[in-house]
């Protein structure tokens, strides 16, 4: 009954089943998906999307600041990834390449978005309930405030801090994703952290 | 000895300072209370950023993939263009993920002109604790048992932990089977395509 003869995604299937609840196949399985997708296997590409859409969404959501923009970004990232997949060297890791595409897509979307809703982090309005020591705020409220603030950073700073402090990439990996140097990335994340710190202090000062 | 600039302390807090700059800042921060306070504030910033991540809404996941695959199908520039059969499968896959287009899928597949003879294959998966079956679907059935499709399509059912789910598929070009399970912390998708 269960004869798996001639299936394209055999590697991934075995991986999936042996992992139980895990939704992360190993690097070899991912490489298998890439090879299959390059050969035109759309189901294999579907796996690739499934495996990476969470982190692409998370990154785009942080940089762009809204679910709907992030959704648009995720779609565009994977459409571009598929289009350029033939150029991707499957001996390399897929995630850094996808981060790079994500950064490019977010940059394009951010241009449009900011043209329409350009409010800088410095002039971000704080509701009256958002006051007192930052750490005393409810966790959900902290998160909302920081999300809003990151999305109001200049694109490059927002992208750099998201990749570094939210996604946990090294400065070298961030530099690769953003197509820049490590020195530039350090300057961007330093500037972003300084702005976020001032923003948090501004929240705290509202009571005094 | 003058205090480091804020930009320097911001990097120090993130571990991006190296070598002598790091060693010097280490020493300074131990001695200088205002700088130690700022470093603490940068740590708060970093952890606030780290914990601000938004997870992808469950409802979006399937929708995103469907849209991506739809757009790929329309895109002549990608690898899919080399294989017209796969484009057909792709169109079948999209309504599957929407969990609503079973009839449409069925129409698509039955209208596929040159389907070679099918053999049987299958898949079994053990259900993790607290799992919810999102869908169990096939986009084709063996022509010799045309009633099978009804029994192979289920959606949004509660599952017993440890239950084995079987999906049987006619094996042949163009068969795509899909099993989607949701647990508290993972979404598992098993689907496979037969050459
Ligand atoms: Zn000092």
- Quote the tokens at residue A180: 């820049």
- Residue B120 and residue A119: Cα distance in Å, rounded? 60
Pick the residue with more confidence: A39 or B186? A39
> What is the pLDDT confidence band of residue B86, given thresholds at 50, 70 and 90?
very low
- Residue B17 and residue A193: Cα distance in Å, rounded? 14
DSSP state of A123: G
**pTM above threshold 0.90:** no
Interface contact flag, A41 B69, Cβ < 8 Å: no
Pick the residue with more confidence: B81 or B32? B32
Distance (angstroms) between ligand 1 centre and the Cα of B4 equals 6
pLDDT in tens, A40-70: 888 888 888 988 999 999 999 999 999 999 9
Question: So what's the pLDDT on residue B187?
Answer: 53
* Count of CA atoms in the C-beta half-sphere (13 A) of B107: 5
Interface contact flag, A162 B89, Cβ < 8 Å: no
- Residue A162 and residue A141: Cα distance in Å, rounded? 19
- Residue B24 and residue A55: Cα distance in Å, rounded? 36
Name the CATH architecture for the domain at A116-208. Answer: Orthogonal Bundle (1.10)
Question: So what's the pLDDT on residue B171?
Answer: 40
> Is-contact A124 A148, C-beta < 8 A?
yes
Distance (angstroms) between ligand 1 centre and the Cα of B40 equals 13
Residue with tokens 């200049």: A154
Q: Which residue of B has its CA nearest to A171?
A: B16
Alpha-helix residue ranges (DSSP H) falling in chain B: 6-13, 19-31, 33-50, 58-74, 84-98, 102-110, 148-151
DSSP state of A7: B
For residue B105, pLDDT over 60 is answered with no
Interface contact flag, A54 B56, Cβ < 8 Å: yes
**3 state DSSP class of A114:** helix
Q: Where are the domains of chain A?
A: 1-91, 116-208
List chain A residues with pLDDT less than 50: 1-23, 207
- DSSP letters spanning A11-76: HHHHHHHHTTT-----HHHHHHHHHHHHTT-HHHHHHHHHHHHHHHHHHHHHHH-SHHHHHHHHHH
pLDDT in tens, B52-65: 999 888 778 778 88
- Quick check: A22 contacting B, CB < 8 Å? yes
Q: What is the mean pLDDT of chain A?
A: 80
How many other C-beta atoms are found inside a 10 Å radius of the C-beta of residue A83? 17
Which residues, in sequence order, are CB contacts of A179 under 8 Å at separation 6+? Answer: A100, A103
Question: So what's the pLDDT on residue B69?
Answer: 84
Interface contact flag, B54 A200, Cβ < 8 Å: no
- Residue A11 and residue A89: Cα distance in Å, rounded? 19
Comparing CA positions, the residue from B110, B99, B78, B100 lying closest to residue B174 is: B110
Provide long-range contacts, Cβ within 8 A and 24+ apart, for A68-77: A69/A109, A69/A113, A70/B54, A71/B60, A71/B63, A71/B64, A72/A109, A73/A102, A73/A105, A73/A106, A73/A109, A74/B56, A74/B64, A74/B68, A75/B64, A75/B67, A75/B68, A75/B71, A76/A105, A76/A108, A76/A109, A77/A101, A77/A102, A77/A105
DSSP state of B117: P
Distance (angstroms) between ligand 1 centre and the Cα of A190 equals 17
- Residue A148 and residue A140: Cα distance in Å, rounded? 12
Distance (angstroms) between ligand 1 centre and the Cα of B29 equals 6
> What is the pLDDT confidence band of residue B172, given thresholds at 50, 70 and 90?
very low
Instruction: Report the residue from B72, B186, B188 with minimal CB separation from A42.
Output: B72
- Residue B4 and residue B100: Cα distance in Å, rounded? 61
What's the ipTM?
0.82
Cβ < 5 A residues, ion ligand 1: B 3, 32, 35
Q: How far is A116 from chain B (nearest CA, A)?
A: 23
Question: So what's the pLDDT on residue B102?
Answer: 36
Chains A, B: CB contacts within 8 A come to 218
Interface contact flag, B122 A1, Cβ < 8 Å: yes
Backbone φ, ψ for residue A78 (5° rounding): -75, -30
Question: So what's the pLDDT on residue B77?
Answer: 53
- Residue A154 and residue A176: Cα distance in Å, rounded? 19
Distance (angstroms) between ligand 1 centre and the Cα of B151 equals 72
């Amino acid at each position: 009954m269960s004869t798996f003869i001639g299936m394209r995604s055999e590697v991934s299937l075995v991986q999936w089943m042996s992992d139980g609840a895990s939704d992360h196949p190993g690097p070899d399985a991912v490489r298998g998906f890439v090879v299959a997708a390059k050969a035109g296997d759309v189901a294999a590409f579907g796996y690739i999307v499934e495996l990476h859409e969470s982190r692409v969404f998370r990154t785009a959501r942080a940089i762009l600041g809204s679910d709907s923009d992030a959704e648009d970004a995720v779609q565009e990232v994977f459409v571009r990834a598929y289009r350029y997949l033939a150029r991707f060297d499957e001996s390399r890791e897929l995630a850094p390449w996808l981060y790079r595409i994500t950064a490019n897509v977010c940059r394009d979307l951010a241009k449009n978005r900011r043209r329409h809703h350009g409010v800088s982090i410095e002039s971000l309005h704080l509701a009256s309930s958002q006051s007192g020591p930052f750490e005393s705020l409810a966790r959900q409220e902290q998160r909302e405030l920081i999300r809003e603030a990151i999305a109001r950073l200049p694109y490059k700073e927002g992208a750099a801090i998201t990749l570094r402090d939210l996604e946990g990439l090294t400065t070298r990996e961030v530099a690769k994703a953003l197509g820049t140097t490590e020195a530039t990335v350090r300057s961007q994340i330093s500037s972003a952290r300084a702005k976020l710190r001032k923003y948090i202090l501004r929240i705290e000062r509202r009571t005094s | 000895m003058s205090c480091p600039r804020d930009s320097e302390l911001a990097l120090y807090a993130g571990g991006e300072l190296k070598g002598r700059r790091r060693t010097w800042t280490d020493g300074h921060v131990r001695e200088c209370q205002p700088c130690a306070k700022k470093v603490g504030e940068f740590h708060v910033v970093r952890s606030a950023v780290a914990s601000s991540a938004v997870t992808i809404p469950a409802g979006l996941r399937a929708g995103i993939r469907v849209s991506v695959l739809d757009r790929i199908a329309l895109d002549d520039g990608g690898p899919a263009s080399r294989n017209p059969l796969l484009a057909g499968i792709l169109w079948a896959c999209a309504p599957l993920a929407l969990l609503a287009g079973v009839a449409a899928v069925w129409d698509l597949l039955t209208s596929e002109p040159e389907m070679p003879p099918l053999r049987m294959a299958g898949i079994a998966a053990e259900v993790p604790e607290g799992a919810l079956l999102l869908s169990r679907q096939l986009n084709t059935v063996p022509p010799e048992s045309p009633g099978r499709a009804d029994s192979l399509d289920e959606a949004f059912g509660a599952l017993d932990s440890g239950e084995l789910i079987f999906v049987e598929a006619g094996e042949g070009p163009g068969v795509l089977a899909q099993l989607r399970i949701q647990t508290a912390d993972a979404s598992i998708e098993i689907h496979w395509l037969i050459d």
